[in-house]
Chains A and B, each alone.
Chain A
């Protein structure tokens, strides 16, 4: 089955209101999907709900199928068997994802041993190979290092190595490079792109940085207030954004060498989940809103994706 992930009508509700609203998403083998949007639009919640690790108090509806199996029907043990193995995540601010009390090598080796029946020395060899693959110099010595002895960029690479060491079918990377400074970010991104294709079946890259998405992904889904408002192949999205929100996002992205103009912003904030506006959720902030926007906007299929906007339904 080439379908890796199939999310149908996923709704996640915290106490105050839905954070993810009736979301549909499909991922095939080889897909690297960028999930972009402002803070608070539900990107990270979507990531954790795929893993089934939402905080207690969250309610989840809809189905999530991973390689054909319904993830929500799995019990704790079966789910844990999957996590870190075929379904891996690099959590946000990944350089803090290493326990300060354990050596780098032990943290990777323990992950391998938890999922594979291999000897400790085999696991060590796998860890070593993976550290080398993410470009860590002198990996033999680094295996015995503690996290505080490594720089932020190195720790991030270790995080990436840990997530990819068992060749997951699906990798979820939450802001994989936002904790890094720009020079190192470029290195890690280049490396990461190759590694995803080499070691992971498919990937979801969560980011608010369109530049990161442009470099890593072949598809983009733009999220707003818990919905996907536009989905398109990456080139097309940048060349020809359809949804007004996507256009605003692109306009708000600073470009090098374009000086003089004040940086565009999107007025207002993401709506409160408890009291969303009627009709299109972006309407109160939309520069081209019109009367028809007060009704629920249709999902308009487009080649390679679609857009949730009434302006494109007319054609």
Chain B
């Protein structure tokens, strides 16, 4: 017994050290970008003397100045404030739609992964059909049925992303259900529901989290695209896509009014993608060897 009676060395619980060890460069940069965006989206409109919808015809298409750091648009509105308020919409739509996709996709993926055969086919074949449509087309179809507006955008993007989440969840469920601890749980008399919720779901969340963080970036883009073609957020609510769409008429006179929302969009998507990349390095089993 002497052999393994020796106390097993356990790393001292230093949560801070463990946290920083997980912070790879892309994750740090991505989190920093998203942090700055969040900070700006909530602070700048509150601190600025201008309101996002405050029209000032005399100031139409004014270049960047101390008072208007990113200039003003065709109606003399402050571009910086509008971009930051637009960020709020982007973030809210992205978070809401991915949350919706998770709420629908996780149970569907779990069920189809754990119950092969009939249930699997009943769930996955319709989802495959949904996946066959280009995202924007599917979103347009949903909005044609439900109408426009911010909430409908969230629902439309949520529906578009549900099959993607469900697929990832199904794949990880298929792997997890063959694990020995799942068989052991069945041998101890655990019910199917209990096995799925307490053993399979927590053990397969890693890839789903990665997928969700990447989808956040795509959701931002999709919302902007829908707003750009006039199907998304309705004016005067400032959405980045909507700003791009209206200000492009003045692109030669006032490039700042177009470049600002465009650049803002790029920055946020870059942030989400970097976070997704960083998380994948940590959470994806295939990437693990590279990191350690």
Contact = CB atoms under 8 A, between A and B. Distances in A.
A276 interface: no
A25 B107 CA distance: 42
Contacts of A138: 7
A101 B180 contact: no
A84 B1 CA distance: 28
A58 to B, nearest CB: 14
A154 B199 contact: no
B10 A99 contact: no
Contacts of A83: 186-189
B65 interface: no
B181 A84 contact: no
A150 B6 CA distance: 11
Given A99-B203, A138-B7, A184-B3, A84 B180 contact: no
Determine chain B's interface SS by DSSP, over half rule: helix
A99 B7 CA distance: 22
Instruction: List the 4 closest A-B pairs by CB distance, nearest first.
Output: A84-B188, A83-B189, A97-B184, A96-B180
A79 B185 CA distance: 14
B249 interface: no
Interface in B35-90: none
Interface in A193-217: none
Interface in B1-16: 1, 3-5, 7-8, 10
Interface of B: 1, 3-5, 7-8, 10, 116-117, 179-181, 183-191, 198-199, 202-203
A302 interface: no
B105 to A, nearest CB: 21
A228 B198 CA distance: 39
Given A91-B184, A94-B180, A135-B1, 13 more contacts: A83-B186, A88-B187, A89-B187, A93-B180, A97-B180, A99-B198, A101-B203, A137-B7, A151-B4, A153-B3, A154-B4, A154-B8, A187-B1
Contacts of B186: 53, 83
Contacts of B190: 80, 84, 114
Contacts of B3: 153, 183-184, 187
Given A56-B116, A151-B4, A184-B3, A100 B181 contact: yes
B239 to A, nearest CB: 40
Nearest to A149: B10
A115 B188 CA distance: 9
A80 B116 CA distance: 21
Nearest to B194: A114
A86 to B, nearest CB: 10
B153 to A, nearest CB: 36
A149 B8 contact: yes
Interface in A59-101: 76, 79-85, 88-89, 91-94, 96-101
